[in-house]
Amino acid sequence: MDVELLRRATDSVPAGAVSRAFAFFLHFDYLRRMNLLTPNIEPFFRAAGWVPGRAVVVDSHVPRAHPAFRILQAFGELTVGHIGTGEECASSDIEFGCPACPDEQVDDWQEALRTDFVCLGDVHHGHGQLWLDSQGRLFLNGLVASMMLFVGHDFAQGIEALLKGYRSRPMLLPSQEDVMVWGERFRAGDPLVLTPSFFHARAL
């Protein structure tokens, strides 16, 4: 960012407008630095009506310290993307800002991973819910078909996978034997299936 160029551009602008513009820049810069908005997904969000500096009221049940708070503040009430043919599976729409309480499956995974999930919204016309944990990892909980999927190690990675139709990783708890995803049955021990030990190992 050329600070001198920014100063010259704002010299003739009223102070209040400069303050607002600078606040928008800081907000946009925060989204970029926190890997919440990358060039690969930004066009999808702009097409949905997002603009730098956008901020909506976040549900009071979302802790301000949780990484989901900033995401919901910036993107809440937007529907991004659409269902269609994707790279590996169907691409998805994402409706941000649909508050939800964890069901038994989400609760079990919260306990297994020793983390806290916050719902970011619905995906695939309400067939699933998107959850962000306290480390910023993205998960999907199936509502029509019972399943838990690992979508991405961070928000931007996971959102790009959903919007472009890349497959998520099926997950199984030690008490579960198999899960049906995309018409395929994945069993415990399959190298594609993630278990709590996978996430614990990455945290070391």
Give me the DSSP letters along 21-73. Answer: HHHHHHHHHHHHHTTSS-TTTHHHHHHTT--TT---PPPTTS-TTSHHHHHHH
Please write the tens of the pLDDT for every residue from 130-176: 999 999 999 999 988 889 999 999 999 999 999 999 999 999 999 99
- Which residues face 187 on adjacent strands? 178
Cα R_g (the chain), whole angstroms: 19
Burial of 183 per CB tally in 10 Å (0-12, 13-18, 19+):
exposed
Please write the tens of the pLDDT for every residue from 174-183: 999 999 998 8
DSSP state of 86: -
Distance, in Å, from the CA atom of 109 to the CA atom of 173, rounded to the nearest integer, reads 8
- pLDDT number for residue 193: 96
Angle subtended at Cα 95 by Cα 107 and Cα 60, rounded to the nearest 5 degrees: 60
- pLDDT number for residue 4: 44
Please write the tens of the pLDDT for every residue from 92-103: 999 999 777 888
CA distances from 52 to 9, 14, 49 (A): 18, 20, 10
- pLDDT number for residue 49: 96
> What are the b/e assignments for 130-158, b being 16+ CB within 10 Å?
bbbbbebbbbbbbbeeebbbbbbebbbbb
For residue 27, which phi and psi values (nearest 5 degrees)? -65, -45
**Predicted model pTM:** 0.82
The pair of structure tokens assigned to 139 is 């998960």
More confident residue, 192 or 7: 192
